[in-house]
Structure 1
Amino acid sequence: MNIGDRIKKVRKSLDLTQEAFATRIGSVQNTITGYESGRRNPSAPVISLICKEFNVNEEWLRNGTGEMFNPEPCDELDSLADKFNLSHGEYIFLEKYLKLKREERDNVFDFIMDVCSAIGDSGVSGTADAAPRSSVPDIDIDAEVEAYRQQLELQKKAAAESSLSSGGNDEGAGKKEA
Protein backbone atom coordinates (compact mmCIF):
# COMPACT_ATOMS: atom_id res chain seq x y z
CA MET A 1 0.00 0.00 0.00
CA ASN A 2 1.45 3.40 -0.99
CA ILE A 3 0.82 6.80 0.61
CA GLY A 4 -1.98 7.54 -1.88
CA ASP A 5 -3.77 4.36 -0.82
CA ARG A 6 -3.38 5.34 2.82
CA ILE A 7 -4.78 8.84 2.16
CA LYS A 8 -7.79 7.22 0.46
CA LYS A 9 -8.21 4.85 3.40
CA VAL A 10 -8.20 7.79 5.85
CA ARG A 11 -10.74 9.68 3.73
CA LYS A 12 -13.05 6.69 3.41
CA SER A 13 -12.81 5.81 7.12
CA LEU A 14 -13.93 9.37 7.88
CA ASP A 15 -16.72 9.03 5.30
CA LEU A 16 -15.58 12.15 3.41
CA THR A 17 -15.75 12.88 -0.29
CA GLN A 18 -12.55 13.93 -2.02
CA GLU A 19 -13.95 17.47 -2.18
CA ALA A 20 -14.78 17.58 1.57
CA PHE A 21 -11.38 16.11 2.44
CA ALA A 22 -9.64 18.67 0.21
CA THR A 23 -11.57 21.56 1.72
CA ARG A 24 -10.55 20.56 5.25
CA ILE A 25 -6.86 20.75 4.31
CA GLY A 26 -7.19 23.84 2.12
CA SER A 27 -6.78 22.02 -1.16
CA VAL A 28 -8.93 21.05 -4.16
CA GLN A 29 -10.57 17.79 -5.19
CA ASN A 30 -8.25 17.24 -8.19
CA THR A 31 -5.19 17.30 -5.94
CA ILE A 32 -6.67 14.61 -3.68
CA THR A 33 -7.49 12.53 -6.77
CA GLY A 34 -3.84 12.85 -7.84
CA TYR A 35 -2.60 11.69 -4.42
CA GLU A 36 -4.98 8.73 -4.27
CA SER A 37 -4.18 7.60 -7.81
CA GLY A 38 -0.44 7.83 -7.20
CA ARG A 39 0.08 10.47 -9.92
CA ARG A 40 1.14 13.01 -7.29
CA ASN A 41 2.98 12.73 -4.02
CA PRO A 42 1.96 14.97 -1.13
CA SER A 43 4.59 17.37 0.20
CA ALA A 44 5.79 17.19 3.80
CA PRO A 45 3.60 20.19 4.81
CA VAL A 46 0.53 18.51 3.25
CA ILE A 47 1.28 15.28 5.12
CA SER A 48 1.61 17.23 8.39
CA LEU A 49 -1.64 19.05 7.67
CA ILE A 50 -3.53 15.80 7.01
CA CYS A 51 -2.16 14.33 10.24
CA LYS A 52 -3.06 17.38 12.29
CA GLU A 53 -6.52 17.94 10.76
CA PHE A 54 -7.64 14.32 10.99
CA ASN A 55 -5.55 13.11 13.99
CA VAL A 56 -3.72 10.66 11.73
CA ASN A 57 -0.58 8.89 12.94
CA GLU A 58 2.15 10.38 10.73
CA GLU A 59 4.27 7.21 10.87
CA TRP A 60 1.31 5.23 9.56
CA LEU A 61 0.55 7.74 6.79
CA ARG A 62 4.18 7.87 5.59
CA ASN A 63 5.21 4.24 6.06
CA GLY A 64 2.14 2.19 6.95
CA THR A 65 3.42 1.27 10.41
CA GLY A 66 1.40 1.61 13.58
CA GLU A 67 -2.25 2.56 13.91
CA MET A 68 -4.02 4.77 11.35
CA PHE A 69 -5.19 7.30 13.95
CA ASN A 70 -3.52 8.72 17.02
CA PRO A 71 -5.31 7.78 20.23
CA GLU A 72 -7.95 10.29 21.22
CA PRO A 73 -7.21 12.20 24.41
CA CYS A 74 -9.31 10.94 27.30
CA ASP A 75 -10.18 14.46 28.33
CA GLU A 76 -9.09 18.07 28.04
CA LEU A 77 -6.25 17.63 30.55
CA ASP A 78 -4.71 14.89 28.42
CA SER A 79 -5.00 17.20 25.44
CA LEU A 80 -3.22 19.99 27.37
CA ALA A 81 -0.54 17.56 28.51
CA ASP A 82 0.12 16.63 24.90
CA LYS A 83 -0.02 20.21 23.65
CA PHE A 84 2.33 21.63 26.31
CA ASN A 85 4.50 18.53 26.84
CA LEU A 86 3.69 18.42 30.56
CA SER A 87 5.80 16.37 32.92
CA HIS A 88 4.12 13.76 35.11
CA GLY A 89 4.40 16.07 38.13
CA GLU A 90 2.91 19.02 36.24
CA TYR A 91 0.03 16.82 35.07
CA ILE A 92 -0.74 15.68 38.63
CA PHE A 93 -0.47 19.27 39.94
CA LEU A 94 -2.96 20.55 37.35
CA GLU A 95 -5.27 17.59 37.85
CA LYS A 96 -5.38 18.12 41.63
CA TYR A 97 -5.73 21.90 41.28
CA LEU A 98 -8.59 21.64 38.79
CA LYS A 99 -10.43 19.14 40.99
CA LEU A 100 -10.47 21.61 43.90
CA LYS A 101 -13.67 23.51 44.68
CA ARG A 102 -13.71 27.10 43.40
CA GLU A 103 -13.12 28.51 46.90
CA GLU A 104 -10.14 26.18 47.46
CA ARG A 105 -8.63 27.22 44.10
CA ASP A 106 -9.08 30.86 45.11
CA ASN A 107 -7.25 30.13 48.38
CA VAL A 108 -4.37 28.47 46.51
CA PHE A 109 -4.17 31.41 44.14
CA ASP A 110 -4.21 33.91 47.04
CA PHE A 111 -1.45 31.93 48.77
CA ILE A 112 0.70 32.01 45.63
CA MET A 113 0.12 35.76 45.31
CA ASP A 114 1.14 36.25 48.98
CA VAL A 115 4.34 34.29 48.38
CA CYS A 116 5.14 36.34 45.27
CA SER A 117 4.48 39.56 47.15
CA ALA A 118 6.71 38.49 50.05
CA ILE A 119 9.53 37.62 47.66
CA GLY A 120 9.14 40.98 45.93
CA ASP A 121 9.02 42.88 49.24
CA SER A 122 12.12 41.11 50.55
CA GLY A 123 14.36 42.91 48.08
CA VAL A 124 16.14 39.62 47.47
CA SER A 125 16.15 37.80 44.17
CA GLY A 126 13.77 34.87 44.02
CA THR A 127 16.72 32.75 42.90
CA ALA A 128 18.98 33.70 45.85
CA ASP A 129 20.14 31.02 48.28
CA ALA A 130 17.21 29.63 50.22
CA ALA A 131 18.77 29.63 53.73
CA PRO A 132 18.70 33.11 55.31
CA ARG A 133 21.77 34.26 57.18
CA SER A 134 21.53 33.80 60.93
CA SER A 135 20.50 36.90 62.88
CA VAL A 136 23.36 36.15 65.29
CA PRO A 137 26.50 37.86 64.00
CA ASP A 138 29.55 35.74 63.33
CA ILE A 139 31.81 35.76 66.39
CA ASP A 140 35.58 35.77 66.08
CA ILE A 141 36.48 33.77 69.20
CA ASP A 142 40.19 34.59 68.99
CA ALA A 143 39.46 38.32 68.85
CA GLU A 144 37.06 38.05 71.81
CA VAL A 145 39.67 36.17 73.90
CA GLU A 146 42.35 38.74 73.01
CA ALA A 147 40.07 41.65 73.96
CA TYR A 148 39.23 39.96 77.28
CA ARG A 149 42.95 39.30 77.96
CA GLN A 150 43.77 42.95 77.33
CA GLN A 151 40.95 44.04 79.64
CA LEU A 152 42.27 41.80 82.42
CA GLU A 153 45.80 43.13 81.97
CA LEU A 154 44.51 46.69 82.23
CA GLN A 155 42.59 45.83 85.40
CA LYS A 156 45.69 44.17 86.87
CA LYS A 157 47.86 47.16 85.99
CA ALA A 158 45.30 49.57 87.46
CA ALA A 159 45.14 47.52 90.65
CA ALA A 160 48.96 47.54 90.91
CA GLU A 161 49.12 51.30 90.39
CA SER A 162 46.37 51.81 92.94
CA SER A 163 48.32 49.74 95.44
CA LEU A 164 51.51 51.78 94.88
CA SER A 165 49.78 55.14 95.14
CA SER A 166 48.15 54.26 98.45
CA GLY A 167 51.60 53.57 99.82
CA GLY A 168 50.96 49.96 100.26
CA ASN A 169 53.99 48.33 101.70
CA ASP A 170 52.09 45.11 101.90
CA GLU A 171 53.77 43.01 99.24
CA GLY A 172 51.00 40.47 99.03
CA ALA A 173 48.27 43.10 98.44
CA GLY A 174 46.47 42.64 95.15
CA LYS A 175 48.05 39.26 94.49
CA LYS A 176 46.53 35.86 94.72
CA GLU A 177 48.42 33.05 96.31
CA ALA A 178 49.80 30.58 93.87
Structure 2
Amino acid sequence: MKERIKKIRKELDLTQQKFADKLGVKRNTVGQWECGINAITDQVITSICREFNVNESWLRTGTGEMFNPSPSSAMDVLAAEYHLDQNAYVVVEKFLNLKPEYQKGVIEYFKAIAAALNSENMDDLSDLVPGSPEELEANYPPMDPDSTDRNIG
Protein backbone atom coordinates (compact mmCIF):
# COMPACT_ATOMS: atom_id res chain seq x y z
CA MET A 1 0.00 0.00 0.00
CA LYS A 2 2.95 2.33 0.61
CA GLU A 3 3.67 2.47 -3.13
CA ARG A 4 0.04 3.29 -3.91
CA ILE A 5 -0.01 6.19 -1.44
CA LYS A 6 3.08 7.63 -3.09
CA LYS A 7 1.53 7.04 -6.53
CA ILE A 8 -1.62 8.97 -5.50
CA ARG A 9 0.47 11.86 -4.22
CA LYS A 10 2.61 11.95 -7.38
CA GLU A 11 -0.46 11.64 -9.64
CA LEU A 12 -2.01 14.64 -7.88
CA ASP A 13 1.32 16.50 -8.11
CA LEU A 14 1.42 17.09 -4.34
CA THR A 15 4.43 17.34 -2.09
CA GLN A 16 4.42 15.27 1.08
CA GLN A 17 3.68 18.49 2.95
CA LYS A 18 0.65 19.41 0.82
CA PHE A 19 -0.65 15.83 0.97
CA ALA A 20 -0.20 15.86 4.76
CA ASP A 21 -1.92 19.24 5.09
CA LYS A 22 -5.00 17.96 3.26
CA LEU A 23 -5.19 14.97 5.60
CA GLY A 24 -4.42 16.93 8.77
CA VAL A 25 -1.22 15.03 9.56
CA LYS A 26 2.48 15.91 9.73
CA ARG A 27 4.72 15.68 6.67
CA ASN A 28 6.95 13.06 8.26
CA THR A 29 3.89 10.86 8.83
CA VAL A 30 3.31 10.74 5.08
CA GLY A 31 6.98 9.93 4.56
CA GLN A 32 6.74 7.10 7.09
CA TRP A 33 3.68 5.68 5.30
CA GLU A 34 5.48 5.82 1.98
CA CYS A 35 8.54 4.06 3.42
CA GLY A 36 6.42 1.45 5.19
CA ILE A 37 7.64 2.51 8.64
CA ASN A 38 4.17 3.29 10.01
CA ALA A 39 1.08 1.18 9.38
CA ILE A 40 -1.81 2.77 7.56
CA THR A 41 -5.00 2.60 9.61
CA ASP A 42 -8.54 2.18 8.30
CA GLN A 43 -9.20 5.76 9.38
CA VAL A 44 -6.30 7.01 7.23
CA ILE A 45 -7.52 4.95 4.28
CA THR A 46 -11.00 6.44 4.66
CA SER A 47 -9.54 9.95 4.85
CA ILE A 48 -7.38 9.46 1.74
CA CYS A 49 -10.32 8.06 -0.23
CA ARG A 50 -12.64 10.87 0.82
CA GLU A 51 -10.17 13.72 0.40
CA PHE A 52 -8.71 12.64 -2.94
CA ASN A 53 -11.65 10.66 -4.43
CA VAL A 54 -9.54 7.50 -4.39
CA ASN A 55 -11.09 4.10 -5.07
CA GLU A 56 -10.75 2.27 -1.74
CA SER A 57 -10.43 -1.12 -3.42
CA TRP A 58 -7.50 0.15 -5.47
CA LEU A 59 -5.82 1.69 -2.43
CA ARG A 60 -6.14 -1.52 -0.39
CA THR A 61 -5.44 -4.11 -3.09
CA GLY A 62 -4.25 -2.38 -6.24
CA THR A 63 -7.24 -3.64 -8.26
CA GLY A 64 -9.50 -1.37 -10.26
CA GLU A 65 -9.04 2.28 -11.10
CA MET A 66 -7.00 4.59 -8.86
CA PHE A 67 -9.73 7.22 -8.66
CA ASN A 68 -13.49 7.01 -8.41
CA PRO A 69 -15.32 8.53 -11.36
CA SER A 70 -15.89 12.23 -10.80
CA PRO A 71 -19.51 13.30 -10.61
CA SER A 72 -20.46 15.56 -13.48
CA SER A 73 -22.30 18.06 -11.30
CA ALA A 74 -23.20 19.04 -7.77
CA MET A 75 -26.60 17.43 -8.35
CA ASP A 76 -24.89 14.13 -9.11
CA VAL A 77 -22.97 14.37 -5.84
CA LEU A 78 -26.20 15.10 -3.96
CA ALA A 79 -28.01 12.25 -5.70
CA ALA A 80 -25.26 9.80 -4.86
CA GLU A 81 -24.97 10.92 -1.25
CA TYR A 82 -28.72 10.72 -0.59
CA HIS A 83 -29.45 7.78 -2.92
CA LEU A 84 -31.99 9.76 -4.94
CA ASP A 85 -34.00 7.88 -7.53
CA GLN A 86 -34.80 9.58 -10.84
CA ASN A 87 -38.06 11.13 -9.59
CA ALA A 88 -36.45 12.59 -6.48
CA TYR A 89 -33.53 13.86 -8.59
CA VAL A 90 -35.93 15.72 -10.90
CA VAL A 91 -37.90 17.21 -7.97
CA VAL A 92 -34.77 18.52 -6.26
CA GLU A 93 -33.26 19.77 -9.52
CA LYS A 94 -36.43 21.62 -10.52
CA PHE A 95 -36.76 23.15 -7.05
CA LEU A 96 -33.16 24.37 -7.10
CA ASN A 97 -33.65 25.91 -10.52
CA LEU A 98 -36.57 28.05 -9.36
CA LYS A 99 -36.04 31.70 -8.57
CA PRO A 100 -35.59 32.18 -4.79
CA GLU A 101 -38.99 33.82 -4.45
CA TYR A 102 -40.63 30.81 -6.13
CA GLN A 103 -38.71 28.46 -3.84
CA LYS A 104 -40.10 30.40 -0.89
CA GLY A 105 -43.60 30.10 -2.35
CA VAL A 106 -43.25 26.32 -2.69
CA ILE A 107 -42.05 26.04 0.90
CA GLU A 108 -44.90 28.21 2.18
CA TYR A 109 -47.37 26.11 0.19
CA PHE A 110 -46.11 22.89 1.78
CA LYS A 111 -46.24 24.52 5.21
CA ALA A 112 -49.88 25.42 4.54
CA ILE A 113 -50.61 21.84 3.49
CA ALA A 114 -48.96 20.50 6.66
CA ALA A 115 -50.87 22.97 8.84
CA ALA A 116 -54.16 22.03 7.18
CA LEU A 117 -53.49 18.33 7.58
CA ASN A 118 -52.62 18.84 11.24
CA SER A 119 -55.64 21.03 11.97
CA GLU A 120 -58.67 19.62 13.72
CA ASN A 121 -61.03 20.82 11.00
CA MET A 122 -59.78 19.28 7.77
CA ASP A 123 -63.07 20.08 6.02
CA ASP A 124 -61.98 23.65 5.42
CA LEU A 125 -58.91 23.51 3.24
CA SER A 126 -59.72 26.78 1.47
CA ASP A 127 -56.77 28.56 3.04
CA LEU A 128 -54.38 26.15 1.37
CA VAL A 129 -54.37 28.16 -1.82
CA PRO A 130 -54.17 31.86 -1.02
CA GLY A 131 -56.16 34.00 -3.41
CA SER A 132 -58.14 33.26 -6.51
CA PRO A 133 -56.77 31.29 -9.45
CA GLU A 134 -56.35 34.61 -11.27
CA GLU A 135 -54.28 36.06 -8.41
CA LEU A 136 -52.14 32.92 -8.32
CA GLU A 137 -51.47 33.05 -12.04
CA ALA A 138 -50.57 36.74 -11.82
CA ASN A 139 -48.11 36.11 -8.96
CA TYR A 140 -46.83 32.73 -10.13
CA PRO A 141 -47.03 32.50 -13.91
CA PRO A 142 -46.96 29.03 -15.45
CA MET A 143 -43.53 27.76 -16.23
CA ASP A 144 -42.11 25.39 -18.77
CA PRO A 145 -41.70 22.09 -16.90
CA ASP A 146 -38.66 21.24 -19.02
CA SER A 147 -36.87 24.49 -18.30
CA THR A 148 -33.86 24.52 -15.97
CA ASP A 149 -33.32 28.25 -16.19
CA ARG A 150 -33.09 29.91 -12.75
CA ASN A 151 -34.69 33.01 -14.23
CA ILE A 152 -38.04 31.45 -14.98
CA GLY A 153 -40.97 33.79 -15.04
Q: Same fold (TM over 0.5)?
A: yes
AA in 2 matched with 1:17: T
Q: 1:68 to 1:104 in 2, by over 3 A?
A: same
Secondary structure, in 3 states, of the residue corresponding to 1:72? coil
**Corresponding residue for residue 87 of structure 1:** 85
Q: Deviations over 1:11-40 (max 9, x none)?
A: 001111112212221222222222212333
Gap runs ≥5 in structure 1: 125-178
Matching residue within 29, 32, 42 for 1:31: 29
Q: Deviations over 1:52-102 (max 9, x none)?
A: 111111111111122211222222211222232323322121012222334
Q: Distance in 2 between matches of 1:5 and 1:32?
A: 12
**Corresponding residue for residue 18 of structure 2:** 20
**Structure with the larger RCO, 1 or 2 (CA within 8 Å, 6+ apart):** 2
**Corresponding residue for residue 69 of structure 1:** 67
Q: Distance in 1 between matches of 2:99 and 2:28?
A: 54
Larger Rg: 1
Q: Give the drift of 1:118.
A: 0.9
**Corresponding residue for residue 9 of structure 2:** 11
Give aligned-pair identity as a percent. 43
Q: Give the drift of 1:107.
A: 3.3
Task: Map residues 1-178 of structure 1 onto 2, 5 A cutoff.
Answer: 3-122=1-120
Secondary structure, in 3 states, of the residue corresponding to 1:33? helix
Q: Give the drift of 1:103.
A: 4.3
Q: Distance in 2 between matches of 1:113 and 1:15?
A: 50
Q: Distance in 2 between matches of 1:58 and 1:110?
A: 43
Q: Distance in 2 between matches of 1:22 and 1:41?
A: 15
AA in 2 matched with 1:35: W
Number of equivalenced pairs:
122
Q: Distance in 2 between matches of 1:14 and 1:100?
A: 37
* 1:11–1:21 Cα contact (<8 Å) kept: yes
Q: Give the drift of 1:117.
A: 1.6
